[in-house]
Each structure stands twice: as C-alpha cells, then as structure tokens.
C-alpha cells in the first residue's frame, strides 16, 4: 500500500495494491498493521456508513465536536468523488486550508481524517458510492457543519463530472444553510488544536 500525507497534518491518502485476473480484482482497502503506524493510533471502529449519490451531490463540510471527535477512513466503491479535507482546528498552522483526493473505482484510494478535521465529498457521476469507517457513532448534538461553498475557503470544486457533463451542485437543506468558517469560529463551534 502506498501512503501519502496530505498538506493538512492528520490526513492521509492510502492507495492499495490491486491484484486482478480474469475473475476481477482483489485489494486490501484497510489494514491495521499499515494504518496504525501511519496514524499513530488504531482506528477504533464504532460505525460504518455507505452513501450513494447522483452526479453533483455535494455533502459537507461536516465535522464532530472535538473532544470527543470523530476520525474517518473513506473510500469509493463505485463511481468517483472529490474528497476534500479542511483543517477546522483553531490554532493549527494549516487552519482554514484544504486538500483533496480523487477517490474512485479505478485507483481505489482511501482517505483518513483525524478528529477535528472537516470533510466534504462531491459526486462526479451518477450512482457514485462512498463508504467510510468512523471512530464514533453519529451523535446529532456533536455534529456540525461549515458551508462547502464558503468563498473564503476557496475550495476548487470541479464544474465537470467524470463523464464530461457539467455539474450542478446539489446540497441538503442542512448543508445549504451551514455557516461560513468565520461564523462557526465566532460562534465557538470549531475544534481547538
């Protein structure tokens, strides 16, 4: 497995080795003996999620109050997503910056986000399927959002899908009214480093 640390400390890209033959493909998309030395601690699995999205569906930027925080290990089983990690940790040298990874059913990369980091995904084709392992069960009172379209974040969202068609962003009602990073910080909702 190839591992690359993203520009935000505590976020990593994992690219598995794939073994293919006339029957299909086999790969190890998560392996603790590789993960734990990289992340510095094991991923304590508390919940696993799966989401299927139409092209243009934009989910996030989501994060969990830290503490307790929620770590995520995310991959794409079908289709393609732009996976975006945003540093929301007040006091971090990379606060307010973002990095991205194309996760798809070709390279089969996975992204790890440590607690305190924000997460968003944009589906690049219809039927794209993402799955993620979480270190904390969903707890509504700890769940927070920042607008993925906050102009101050300057996230370079693709405007064209994997098939070459223009993307029209589709947000949930909750994501469409999420505060900007500045408002979330002023409200004291962001995690500290």
Rounded Cα gap, residues 164 and 125, in angstroms:
10
Opening angle at CA 24, ends 36 and 56, nearest 5: 70
Q: What phi and psi values does residue 34 have, to the nearest 5 degrees?
A: -95, -40
Beta-strand ranges (E) seen in 105-146 are: 110-113, 117-123, 128-134, 143-145
Rounded Cα gap, residues 121 and 142, in angstroms:
20
Rounded Cα gap, residues 44 and 46, in angstroms:
6
Indicate which residues carry an active-site annotation. Answer: 62, 132
DSSP string computed for 139-160: -GGGEEE--TT-TTT-----SB
E strand or H helix at 106? none
């Amino acid at each position: 497995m190839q591992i690359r640390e993203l520009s935000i400390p505590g976020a990593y890209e994992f690219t598995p080795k794939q073994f293919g033959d006339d029957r299909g493909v086999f790969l190890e998309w998560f392996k603790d003996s590789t993960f734990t030395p990289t992340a510095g601690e094991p991923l304590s699995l508390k919940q696993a999620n799966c989401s299927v999205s139409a092209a243009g569906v934009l989910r996030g930027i989501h994060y969990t109050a830290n503490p307790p925080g929620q770590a995520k290990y995310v991959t794409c089983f079908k289709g393609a997503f732009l996976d975006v990690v945003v540093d929301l940790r007040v006091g971090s040298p990379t606060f307010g910056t973002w990095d991205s990874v194309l996760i798809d059913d070709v390279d089969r990369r996975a992204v790890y986000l440590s607690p305190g980091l924000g997460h968003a995904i944009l589906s690049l084709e219809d039927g794209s399927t993402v799955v993620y392992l979480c270190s904390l069960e969903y707890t509504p009172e700890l769940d927070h959002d920042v607008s993925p379209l906050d102009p101050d974040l300057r996230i370079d969202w693709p405007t064209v899908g994997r098939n070459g068609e223009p993307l029209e962003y589709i947000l949930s009602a909750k994501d469409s009214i999420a505060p900007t990073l500045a408002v979330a910080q002023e409200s004291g909702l962001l995690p500290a480093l």
